[in-house]
Amino acid sequence: MATELKHLTTAKYALSLHTTTPELGLAISNFAGETRSQVWNLGRDLSSLIHQYLIEFIKPQTWADLSFIAVAKGPGGFTGTRIGVVTARTLGQQLDIPVFAISTLAAVAWSEAAKNQNPKTIAVEMPAQRGQIFAAIYQFESNTSQIKVCLTDRVLTPEAWQETLANWNTNYQLIQAQSGLAATVTSILELANLDWQEGKCPNWSEALPYYGQHPVEV
């Protein structure tokens, strides 16, 4: 049976958070022409200020106007990623609405695909701890306006990543995700909305961070 597509009414909104770096990114949209987003460089104050910024940012909308929450689940900084996911889970639980946990690397790929008239396969790399690399490969499917995961988020040595790329059997565009990642908070929201339109409705408890590495050497 075909899944009935869900669309937010103009009175309903979705909110996304991006905290995997020292920047806080917030976006809100009703996907009917009204979207706004903002980024703040909060550094170590992120944990103490995120709730204050959320309360101010959401106005003039209210928490009751939200249909779902989206959050960058990582990879990224351990503390920031945890803060964002915990905040999103708490909001989802209290508001009884779905929470979509979206890959930081997928958001980078989606943002890049939007800039390209003929988007190719997109390989995304990001520095990880101890000289390793977070990496993933995606393919934008123009016929469905979806992004397909070709290589899931993972941690690799630089050598293993180069070998993976050397053996990849299609042309690709390599993107280095190093700074300004919080600006992709709108991509986090758009990717979550694609899932929402497909009828997905993940419980807040399913939103889990992706760290990739233990924060300290073991």
Q: Does one domain contain both 67 and 109?
A: no
Q: Which residue has the tokens 């042309």?
A: 171
Q: Does one domain contain both 22 and 65?
A: yes
Q: Does one domain contain both 99 and 17?
A: yes
pLDDT of residue 16: 98
Q: Does one domain contain both 93 and 18?
A: yes
Report the chain's terminal Cα–Cα distance, integer Å: 49
pLDDT digits (tens, 9 = 90+) for 5-19: 455 555 699 999 999
Q: Does one domain contain both 22 and 57?
A: yes
pLDDT of residue 110: 94
Q: Which residues contact 156 (CB under 8 A, 6 or more apart)?
A: 132, 133, 135, 164
- 214 located within any domain: no
Choice between 98 and 130, residue whose per-residue pLDDT is larger:
98
pLDDT digits (tens, 9 = 90+) for 22-64: 999 999 999 998 999 999 999 999 999 999 999 999 999 999 9
Q: Strand 133-141 relative to strand 121-127: parallel, antiparallel, unpaired? A: antiparallel
Q: Does one domain contain both 18 and 91?
A: yes
- 159 located within any domain: yes
Q: Does one domain contain both 112 and 197?
A: no
Q: Does one domain contain both 86 and 23?
A: yes
Domain count, the chain: 2
User: Cα–Cα distance between 50 and 35 in angstroms, integer?
Assistant: 20
Evaluate if residue 175 carries a pLDDT over 50. yes
pTM: 0.91
Q: What's 160's domain CATH number?
A: 3.30.420.200
Give the domain range for residue 117: 105-176
User: Cα–Cα distance between 154 and 134 in angstroms, integer?
Assistant: 6
- What is the residue-wise DSSP string for 104-173? HHHHHHHHHHHH-SS--EEEEEEE-GGG-EEEEEEEEETTTTEEEEEEEEEEE-HHHHHHHHHT-SS-EE
- 85 located within any domain: yes
Q: Does one domain contain both 25 and 68?
A: yes
Evaluate if residue 218 carries a pLDDT over 60. no
Q: Does one domain contain both 25 and 69?
A: yes
Query: What's the mean pLDDT in 63-78?
Result: 96
- 2 located within any domain: no
- 31 located within any domain: yes
